Structure 1
Amino acid sequence: MNLLEHTRLMADYNRWMNQRVYAAAARLTPEAVTQDRGAFFGSILGTLNHLMVADRIWLRRFAEHPARFAALEPLRGQPAPTDLRAVQHDTLPALRAAREQLDATIADWAGEVSEADLDHVLVYTNTKGALWRQPFGLLLMHFFNHQTHHRGQVTTLLTQAGEDVGGTDLLELILARPSAESQG
């Protein structure tokens, strides 16, 4: 498996896990979703908002890649969020709808990335105004790892609230996909 295949797998995993997390959160009351649970971003909704903010920040940066990914065109020219705690949506249904749209964008974009794009050094400014230069391929790995990290936090918060997300391992998604070996 190469980094491009991994990127596409992680985009699928992102969407699959977000569907499971949001379904579990939707079984809670709005008060339970917004209750401060002592997590870094406070509540389940606060942590899900952070994920949305961070994804938009990174995708906005990725939109400036010379490959000019068509799926990211709507983000080009838009200001990226600057506050990692910004509330994108204050209700779970609104955030869920936005998340579904963003996950579709991520899947489309992941399908556009080519091998030639990976080594490009992306120049960007972080939320504190510092200028950074990093290989795009490494930033892709960070992008998906960050999602997994915070979804793990949300899964814990959901479990504490009495909701089971079910299995969260990437292996579950891998096993559910048809493999080259099983296709003969």
Structure 2
Amino acid sequence: MLDHFALLADYNRWMNGNLHRSAAALPAADLAAPRGAFFGSILGTFNHLVVADTIWLKRFAGNDESGRWSALRPLAGVPMPERLDAQPCADLAQWWARRQALDATIVDWIAQLDADDPSRTLHYGNMRGEPHRKRLSHLLLHLFNHQTHHRGQATTLFSQCGVDVGATDLLLRIPAADPG
């Protein structure tokens, strides 16, 4: 199962790089323009993913009783976002710096997981403070699925602006199997 999560972390980083290249083709005003998306604009969608990833990574870090997940330690100094529509990154450059750091954290943390970690039950509170207990494997599936969902929205917004993001299929990141 860990190889699946490593693949998804790699795909996540790769796709965010594709989105950055696409965003760099547009003027800043086009990135911030309201487009009727869940989070308004392309930049608003990008910010939502930064916010959501930060929330989840901080929740994961809060369940590291053994102290083995050192990749999550840099998040200790990052404040917990208070709203899902927060705008922590004012422009593409700020978003890209934050996105690269988050993607590296995700890749590094997934590499630190051991075979028993996915079956662990994590405890966290949602944005309303309601307590939850869920398996890490299921939460990781949610993390990656959520990213894919909103990146799909972003690719539609880019298409509406005349920018082709290119191929987005996970299949492109799946390594070839051993011939044996």
SS of 2:116's equivalent in the other structure is: helix
1:1-184 equivalent positions in 2, closer than 5 A:
3-65=1-63, 66-68=65-67, 69-76=69-76, 78-174=78-174, 177-181=175-179
The RMSD of aligned alpha carbons is 1.3
TM-superposed deviation, 1:67: 4.3
The runs of at least 4 consecutive aligned structure 1 residues that moved more than 3 Å come to 76-79
Question: How far off is 1:179 after superposition?
Answer: 3.3
Shift of 1:156: 0.5
Structure 1 residue 76: Cα displacement: 3.2
Higher deviation after alignment, 111-120 or 72-81 = 72-81
Amino acid of the structure 2 residue aligned with 1:169 = D
Q: Percent identity?
A: 50
Task: Give secondary structure in 2 for the equivalent of 1:164.
Answer: coil
- Write the deviation string for residues 54-96 of structure 1: whole angstroms up to 9, x where unpaired: 0000000011223431100122364311200000111011111
Unaligned runs of 5+ residues in structure 1 are none
- Structure 2: runs of 5+ lacking an equivalent: none
TM-score calculated relative to the size of structure 2: 0.94
Provide the aligned length of Structure 1 versus Structure 2: 178
Query: Structure 1 residues 25, 78: CA separation in 2 closer, same or farther (over 3 Å shift)?
Result: closer
Which whole-Å CA distance do the structure 1 matches of 2:109 and 2:145 have between them? 17
Task: Output the CA distance in 2 between the equivalents of 1:119 and 1:64.
Answer: 16
Give the superposition deviation at 1:178: 4.5
Compare 102-111 and 42-51 and name the one that shifted more. Answer: 102-111
Q: Deviations over 1:8-28 (max 9, x none)?
A: 000000000000011101100
Q: Deviations along 1:9-52, whole A, 9 cap, x unmatched? A: 00000000000011101100001100000001000000000000
Rounded Cα–Cα distance in structure 2 between residues aligned with 1:150 and 1:167 = 16
Paired letter, 2:143: F
Quote how far apart the aligned CAs of 1:114 are.
1.2
